[in-house]
Chain A
């Protein structure tokens, strides 16, 4: 169910050509990463919410998630926020941390060079005549007698 959950929260987007969370390989990162225990806790929370919603016995509700429309899935996940906000925020934080450190994601959103070093980025030099009005202000600091 983890893949379906994270793709509900971060779906693919054709217009911006952004991958879904699973397409970006995030499911594996969440399952095997340092926050795997918290992820399991969140899945258990989702199971409880799903069970209450569908009337299916707790521990067997996972299958019902697959039957829901994307909007219904989002409603279930928003209900987990209501039930345990700190855990929901921790889960979304871990999801974002994995998604927005994925090189292909960073490249597509316009983060510049990924990683920043050694390629770096270009910034154009300025025409400093834009400072003409500032010169016309005259001195704006206080002179002090020695």
Chain B
């Protein structure tokens, strides 16, 4: 067995792993290595380089690992969930295929129990994270507009992503209803910055950005981390985190692409494998000290999975809005119904994210299946009444932590290295259902106020399980959390978790900015405590 070592070992190179590699490699004299199960994806490989990009995103760039089936993908059985799991296993992780929405959690999101009597309070608050939000936004490059009355003020943002004619129609509708809306906070360069080009409106950000304008961490944090001496070993699947006789983590066992087993020793281990991958690795790291999985004395590893159930409303407009042009996901959003109002019949709330129109092939197929497009002489006319004439509204609701929503190891389905896959059990709560129904009603009002005709309205949307949260949550008490307020495992002092699995609650916005801010916050703590940790 090959043996290697570093001071700090990071597992996973996605949103949080990259931020950790950058931050920790700034500590003088410390060696930092990251192990990533996937490989680098070069910009030239992204689908938008070819006319058949809509086919390729249904194949090798599909959001589901079960469809994509790249060598780095592990099986995730999500049949017991109305929401299918989405991820990407490669350098940059999920940020390679995310849309780049970059909103922060709200101050109230850290105080669910105190304010609304549900979920749990976080062991830290918005103010503690605020400087890290700012630092992270500087590293990633975020477009938007300061002054949003639905969020504490941002200091500096790049110019917003343009609304387009469709976005403008929806914005005017929000104004006519007297509801909040704002141009999206987007991890998309709208001007050259950080050595990356400005957005040229390719459209499908969620297939990878050939231009490099979208802030996936392979083009933001990683180049800086390399410069500071961090090393990244790709196609390296960690099978187990190992312990020494004192019960401290002393490294990992991993396999390379050829199947050779390696032993990697480290003085501190940082896990950043997302809300499915992190509990999978911990549960697979069994030992006499932890027969139920590493750091799992509380029994909560894998529990409290939150996914942000999503509702969708689509409207068709008479005019050609050129709505398929522009960043598909990032346009504008509304947080009119984000904060709790007991009169609505549910607690917590949701964000409405306005989506641009579907591309040509998706429009044709959906129109055919919904019998909006007929074959034969009327085909082209029917198609043109839909294509570039639609706008969508995604309702992103906050689901609360529940013990029964969980991730387990799946010994029936193994990955290419022979490691068990993951099995997901998830159900929508009555509160979530009421919230989504409210969101669909309000979204239909918006479409109608904009002059559109509603042609689709449903929830939950199945292929939207991007936001993987809560499965190794943080807290002050060992009995009801896996890590403390600094992401440090209660049971293993030199083991840290920095991804969104440590979220206590999920809020109603995309998790990446908060996960990365949390990572930077935790890494500051690691640096302060390095002397103790290295003992």
Contact = CB atoms under 8 A, between A and B. Distances in A.
Interface of A: 8-11, 13, 15-16, 18, 70, 74, 77, 89, 92-93, 96-97, 99-103, 105-106, 109-126, 128, 130-131, 133-135, 137-144, 146
B385 to A, nearest CB: 11
B181 interface: yes
B326 A9 contact: no
Contacts of B67: none
Given A97-B361, A117-B200, 20 more contacts: A11-B376, A15-B380, A92-B368, A97-B54, A100-B360, A100-B361, A101-B54, A106-B51, A112-B203, A116-B53, A116-B203, A120-B200, A120-B201, A121-B326, A123-B164, A123-B201, A125-B162, A126-B168, A131-B182, A140-B336
Given A138-B149, A141-B151, A111 B324 contact: yes
Nearest to A12: B380
B463 interface: no
A106 B48 CA distance: 13
Interface in B141-156: 145, 147, 149-152
Contacts of B381: 13, 15-16
Contact of A110 (B55, B160, B322): B322
A79 B152 CA distance: 60
Nearest to A124: B162
Given A109-B383, A112-B203, A117-B210, A134 B369 contact: no
Nearest to B126: A144
B52 A101 contact: yes
Per CB-CB distance, the 6 closest pairs between chain A and chain B, nearest first, are: A120-B200, A100-B361, A123-B162, A116-B202, A117-B210, A101-B52
Given A117-B49, A117-B211, A123-B162, A111 B360 contact: yes
Contact of B325 (A15, A112, A126, A144): A112
Interface in B139-197: 145, 147, 149-152, 159-164, 168, 171-172, 174-175, 178, 180-183
A134 B180 contact: yes
A131 B168 contact: no
Contacts of A70: 376-377
Contacts of A131: 145, 182
A120 B210 CA distance: 10
26 contacts: A15-B380, A70-B377, A100-B361, A101-B52, A109-B387, A110-B387, A114-B51, A115-B49, A115-B51, A116-B204, A117-B211, A121-B201, A126-B168, A128-B145, A128-B160, A133-B175, A134-B149, A134-B175, A134-B181, A135-B147, A138-B149, A140-B150, A140-B180, A140-B335, A141-B107, A142-B339
B110 interface: yes
A26 B336 CA distance: 48
A141 B108 contact: yes
B360 A115 contact: no
B97 to A, nearest CB: 16
A102 B54 CA distance: 11
A9 B55 contact: no
Interface in B69-110: 106-108, 110
Contacts of A97: 54-55, 361
A8 B201 contact: no
A68 to B, nearest CB: 13
Given A112-B203, A133-B178, A96 B364 contact: yes
B294 to A, nearest CB: 34
A144 B125 contact: yes
A96 B387 contact: no
Contacts of B377: 11, 70
Contacts of B338: 140-141
A72 B172 CA distance: 47
Interface string B360-402: 1100110011000001110111011001100000000000000
A129 to B, nearest CB: 11
Contacts of A74: 375-376
B115 interface: yes
Contacts of B49: 115, 117
B448 interface: no
Interface string B9-37: 00000000000000000000000000000
A144 B168 contact: no
B201 A142 contact: no
B111 interface: yes
Contacts of A111: 324, 359-360
A93 B368 CA distance: 9
B106 A142 contact: yes
Contact of B182 (A89, A106, A122, A134): A134
Instruction: From A99, A130, A138, name the one whose CB has the most chain B CB atoms within 10 angstroms.
Output: A130
A71 B280 CA distance: 57
A101 B361 contact: yes
Contacts of A92: 368, 375
Nearest to B380: A13
Nearest to B379: A10
Given A10-B375, A137-B180, A142-B106, A89 B360 contact: no
B320 interface: yes
Nearest to A144: B107
B369 A89 contact: yes
B3 interface: no
B51 A96 contact: no
A120 B202 contact: yes
A126 B55 CA distance: 33
Given A117-B49, A124-B162, A130-B168, A96 B107 contact: no
Contacts of B149: 134-135, 137-141
B50 interface: yes
A144 B111 contact: yes
Contacts of A146: 125, 127
Contact of A109 (B48, B152, B360): B360
A140 B182 CA distance: 12
A16 B336 contact: no
Contact of A116 (B48, B150, B369): B48
